[in-house]
Amino acid sequence: MRRIMKKPVQDMRQHIIDVARSLMTHKGYTAVGLTELLGAAGVPKGSFYHYFRSKDEFGQALLEEYFQEYLSRVDVQMAKEGSGAERLLSYLRYWAETQAFDHTDQKCLVVKLGAEVCDLSENMRAVLEKGTALIIERITRCVEQGKSDGSITAPTHASTLAEALYQMWLGASLLVKVNRTHEPFDVAYEMSRRLLA
């Protein structure tokens, strides 16, 4: 029998989110029931609502935590030395490395849960909308810097180009899962290089 965790409320809340992220990255949101989640977390079955008012609130917290952590990783990638184009391409290589089908520990929850939870919860959809907008903002700033330093010469407006790149990479992430091959990322990377030129 799994030992019941004794932690302060905030620590236990975070622990549940951490365990859930691992489970839901593999199985999805609706496939993981509360019994499985709480069992994996070592939390008594009746105590979930002590930490979250509802499964919807829990889902929001899970996605908010994911975006906070992911955006900090994006910021590290975007802060590297080099031209705007070099930093953006470095971020896209990082995306391909961490979202490949054989790297399950850093999988994108937007790809894994996006379509599923948008139909279940308006609140979770709003978190996804806000989080993806923040990612696109960071890509836009990188494109703007590339246009300023001359490394990105595409005539397309920076925000339009950033959104097109993000949409293409989301699609490539989905195709990597479907086809179980890295090739969609190779294609997306080559097209990204061409779009920036």
Residue 118 and residue 99 share a domain:
yes
Residue 85 and residue 117 share a domain:
yes
**Residue showing tokens 């978190």:** 127
Q: What is the CATH number of the domain that holds 24?
A: 1.10.10.60
Residue 48 and residue 87 share a domain:
no
Q: What was the pLDDT predicted at 158?
A: 97
Residue 131 and residue 68 share a domain:
yes
Residue 77 and residue 40 share a domain:
no
Please, what sign has the CA dihedral across residues 36, 37, 40, 41? negative
Q: What was the pLDDT predicted at 99?
A: 86
Angstrom distances, CA of residue 28 to CA of 31, 85, 89, 117, 141: 6, 34, 29, 9, 32
Q: What was the pLDDT predicted at 1?
A: 42
Q: Provide the Cα torsion 83, 76, 180, 66; round to 10°.
A: -140
Q: What is the CATH number of the domain that holds 147?
A: 1.10.357.10
Task: Name the domain count of the chain.
Answer: 2
> What distance in Å separates the CA atoms of residue 169 and residue 12, rounded to the nearest whole number?
34
Q: Are 25 and 66 in contact (CB under 8 A)?
A: no
Per-residue pLDDT of the chain in tens (197 residues, 90 and over written 9): 444 445 566 789 999 999 999 899 888 899 999 999 999 999 987 889 999 999 899 999 999 999 999 999 999 999 999 999 999 999 999 999 988 765 555 677 888 888 889 889 999 999 999 999 999 999 999 999 999 999 999 999 999 999 999 999 999 999 998 999 999 999 999 999 999 98
- Domain that includes residue 8, residue range: 1-52
Residue 92 and residue 155 share a domain:
yes
Q: What was the pLDDT predicted at 115?
A: 84
Counting Cα atoms < 13 Å in the Cβ hemisphere of 107 gives: 23
Residue 177 and residue 136 share a domain:
yes
Q: What was the pLDDT predicted at 26?
A: 84
